[in-house]
Amino acid sequence: MIRDISSQQSLSVRRMESPRVVDGDPNEAMETAIDLSEPVFLKSEIYTDDRGWSLMNQLQGVLCPEGQVNYSIQYPGVIKAWHRHEFQTDFWLCLNGHLKAGIYRESDETAWASVIGEKRPGILVIPPTLWHGATTVGPTSAGLLYYVTRAYNPALPDEERRSAESISGFPWNIQHR
């Protein structure tokens, strides 16, 4: 059973940042994220020609037999937050539309926000124990391809959840800069 801890004490954001942008491959990005206990963003290169465009080799080096590939559509106006995992690392790639990803580290009340999607392709790597979630940005649904390093086990899920409002100070709304 997934542990819902929404009824526990509310948390708050003390510091907001953007995820560190890294070069290299997804495996190096995962190692950096785990070592720093923070999310990292690995930019993707778009390959284009007169036939269209593509993203290639997005999860090379991180796929393993224990992992699982998923695809999720999120409707406009929906906030899917917050949850965290004790063991698994998440790799998020928004293929259609745009998502505002939120990540929160409870130990020092640091939060990260990043818009990912069609106009900002790349992989957002979220290491274990960080709270995370997303909201759709814009008027269209967003499609998230995500890989997790441990397949979902309904008998013993590696997941804790809390409500979107339970971490005060995170800007799920649109921010004008």
Reported as a single tens digit per residue, the pLDDT across 2-47 is 666 656 678 999 999 999 999 989 999 999 999 999 999 999 988 8
pLDDT reported for residue 47:
87
Mean pLDDT on 69-93? 97
**Mean pLDDT across the chain:** 93
Residue 80, pLDDT > 70, answer: yes
Residue 58, pLDDT > 90, answer: no
Residue 75, pLDDT > 90, answer: yes
Between 2 and 115, the higher pLDDT residue? 115
Between 175 and 67, the higher pLDDT residue? 67
In the chain, the DSSP E strands lie at 3-4, 11-12, 15-17, 20-22, 40-43, 47-49, 52-54, 68-74, 79-84, 90-96, 98-105, 110-117, 122-126, 131-137, 142-148, 160-161, 167-168
